[in-house]
Structure 1
């Protein structure tokens, strides 16, 4: 690929993102605009924005890379990512919107009437957000290195700079426009090259090659335990992702939140057809990428390799633009959600506190990203889902649907899940290829453990069920009335 192609694509998508973000500044004036877009985002806009921020580096690059390595075994990833939204539709979307909260800690404090729960939830949300941002920056570093030859840190730094500018400019209102645009850019960037490849190679394809050797750090599922554990992580992890959940606070009401989720299911189902096609085409026409350890780059390299010439360069530029849209949209959603938490809990809220918190939320993971190496993108994001499923998800599900939850139980369950899953992640990082399978995919036992501890500790502390429980639960499950006072 011509290095100039990657540079031009990066510049174009960054400028487009900044322009759209600054347009949002014109209509972002209040605290509500910055935190939840004043709760006026309609379902189609919100669904496109959710698709923009949810389809991250793991979806754009990592899924195709895993399919290149592992074939149909890796299809559990797109299936799990999409099916997680069905869980959101059934159990979380409408009640969470009815809570009237700005952030997940807002919800847990109001539900359990406890500042201690709020502090623990805030800490967990920040950790989840930073863990999720790092793979996006690793993906940007990989893209820059592969397509331009520039130092990898340039890609990570470019993402952080553009995200900070757009988030600081207009908060959630601005990011909604940006992320909706980026979903459709990502879909186009994958679909158009695939169609060109199909038309160009129709009737000229070669026989499929034998599966390449699997990189053990790719965490491709192999066997019943791995499949079950991966599905647990993806299904339950989606319910606790802070950047996804905060978007439901932007809907006008609970029914809009449900419609948004239905639309998202459709958008995700269409999108994941294309990374799957890239992975299968890579197994057939570019198996050397797996053998050389460049499986995550198959989406970036395949159009230029199979099409060639000027058309190949143009298609490669489109793919690179889509890849950076993926990094930018997911990172911006995470930074918005983290800025809301940090600004309210540490900086006293307000627009100035939000902007400062946004910068902090982006700079910290940048430091981690430039000093660490990436594992396979889909695998690393899968571990973040496992951590989220073991911490945020239990307190949300039980908080919405179980009247017996107490603050002591919530804290005990979140701490248990964080220690168990976090410990498994640390062991995996230290042991590498020698990691036992039950530590490499920990969700199958860390998620049930977190739920069990939360229920057990709550039953042992029934006297701590808040007096406001009945009123709060009624508001969660009946037509709209805000639980938390608007700021």
Structure 2
């Protein structure tokens, strides 16, 4: 093992120790600690925890790689993921916080007065979170596999063990503060390399101001090689797919159960709104940096690796070839590696770039630690969501309402262990690249939950029959479309990653039509919906708005 691998391992082990230490110190002792951190997290820190929860392996590892490969067309990921937070912050998060439940299935079950709706929502939550966590475990495999110079599937196994330990110990209370630490580590690890790359290429340490010139130079290189220009719109996809992907990520963001539950951990509706505002700021740091990362990485690859003799390639290429995520072959037999002869996986760009740019072992180790922080932070939130859906919504609310706190916590922890093992097995041979797998999770979340949550909050006439029909049809249609589109059978050119544009409208129509064709919900449920629109100092009851002091407004 070389000195670089040793440095990376030591940095990752140090961060592992930090995360587990935080989880032990903030260990959940009651169900409110385990599920919603006792609703006591300040908005600033909750916003940072949301940023950590959000910055998954797809964002940290896959985003820049996707932009490197797709160019302009990859911007749908950035626009969709950030735009969805506006939907969530303004249309759903404050209202869901005022309703005061632990989970999305619990909100749906109580809002519509239906245990059937609760069960469907809990099962859908587990499916969505399970798909999402496969991407995170796959990401951890990429990182650990590179450091230990082993196939990524073995790295995935190691990641499974670490995630299971600290998520099981801390619950939401521990996860919140580990996610704060993970965000700080990952954002530093993400920004430092592009600052150094910008200095190398442009002599300016502000990549956000300089990468535009590099994009223009990439366009010139592409023209010289006869390729479509890097920044040419819809070169790698058509407009329908771009819009479908952006829409899917927006509605998926607003409906992801593991993101929504983070807004349950604050004290008030106002704090929920501020959490969303802080989260957008923290998320923006990385998303504004990803295009710069992609541009500089592509430029260095095209100018320093492509065009070199095949037997004189940099040492880093051999290491990555061993992971099966990089392929280089002298296909035309001229002894020179051409740009088109490099096949680089989206998932290794961020990890490989510090080596490509020769930034030194400390930066390489820092990026490895940041990538693990990204994968672990999201995986932790997803595991808590899976755990709460089973232990709280299915076991406690449906199977054993008399269960003690001790039994509920035990059920939640066992659910984490089992979910991690099963997801880890699937992630050993992932069904797609990280960003693709994550896009499926967003499509499923949007297709199943977004219409039901939006109508459930803003249309009091929505009833349990409509919600049940909408969720079932939306989930079925979205899964079916992903399957067929992945195998080449698409509508209007919309690929599997844009399946939300198919599932969400159908869910809306079904929920609305079935709700109108069946009886209106009981009056007290309609009053609860109207009550959600007022600040916490006010409540709606008996057709009138009441203040906290008991007087009518």
Q: Given the two structures, how large is their TM-score scaled by the length of structure 1?
A: 0.91
In the other structure, the counterpart of 1:455 is 512
C-alpha change, 1:143 and 1:261, in structure 2 (3 Å) is: same
Structure 1 unaligned runs (5+)?
none
Q: Give aligned pairs, total.
A: 470
Matching of residues 90-239 of structure 1 within 5 Å: 90-202=90-202, 207-208=217-218, 209-210=221-222, 222-239=237-254
Larger RCO (CA within 8 A; separation ≥ 6): 1
**Aligned mate of 1:321, from 363, 369, 378:** 369
In the other structure, the counterpart of 1:67 is 67
In the other structure, the counterpart of 1:17 is 19
**Aligned mate of 1:401, from 458, 482, 485:** 458
Matching of residues 253-292 of structure 1 within 5 Å: 253-287=268-302, 291-292=342-343
**CA root-mean-square deviation:** 2.4
Alpha-carbon offset, residue 435 of structure 1: 5.9
Residue pair 2:460, 2:530 contacting (<8 A) in 1 also: no
**Aligned mate of 1:477, from 529, 533, 536:** 533
In the other structure, the counterpart of 2:209 is none
Q: Given the two structures, how large is their TM-score scaled by the length of structure 2?
A: 0.80
Matching of residues 381-460 of structure 1 within 5 Å: 381-429=438-486, 431=487, 437-440=493-496, 441-460=498-517
Is it true that 1:335 corresponds to 2:383 in the alignment?
A: yes
Question: Tell me, what secondary structure is at the counterpart of 1:64?
Answer: helix
The one-character-per-residue Cα deviations of 1:194-241 (angstroms, maximum 9, x if unpaired) are 112222332599842329799xxxx99622211211121111111111
| Stretch of structure 1 that moved more, 139-148 or 404-413 | 139-148
C-alpha change, 1:220 and 1:275, in structure 2 (3 Å) is: farther
Alpha-carbon offset, residue 351 of structure 1: 1.7
Question: Tell me, what secondary structure is at the counterpart of 1:438?
Answer: coil
The one-character-per-residue Cα deviations of 1:16-47 (angstroms, maximum 9, x if unpaired) are 2111211212xx32221111011111101100
Once residues 197 and 536 of structure 2 are traced to their aligned partners in structure 1, the CA distance between those partners, rounded to angstroms, is: 49
In the other structure, the counterpart of 1:298 is 349
C-alpha change, 1:416 and 1:126, in structure 2 (3 Å) is: same
Once residues 197 and 278 of structure 2 are traced to their aligned partners in structure 1, the CA distance between those partners, rounded to angstroms, is: 29
Structure 2 unaligned runs (5+)?
205-212, 307-325, 327-339, 397-402, 540-553
In the other structure, the counterpart of 1:251 is 266
Once residues 368 and 423 of structure 1 are traced to their aligned partners in structure 2, the CA distance between those partners, rounded to angstroms, is: 20
| Stretch of structure 1 that moved more, 339-348 or 277-286 | 339-348
Greater C-alpha radius of gyration: 2
Once residues 388 and 246 of structure 1 are traced to their aligned partners in structure 2, the CA distance between those partners, rounded to angstroms, is: 14
Alpha-carbon offset, residue 144 of structure 1: 2.4
Once residues 80 and 99 of structure 1 are traced to their aligned partners in structure 2, the CA distance between those partners, rounded to angstroms, is: 27
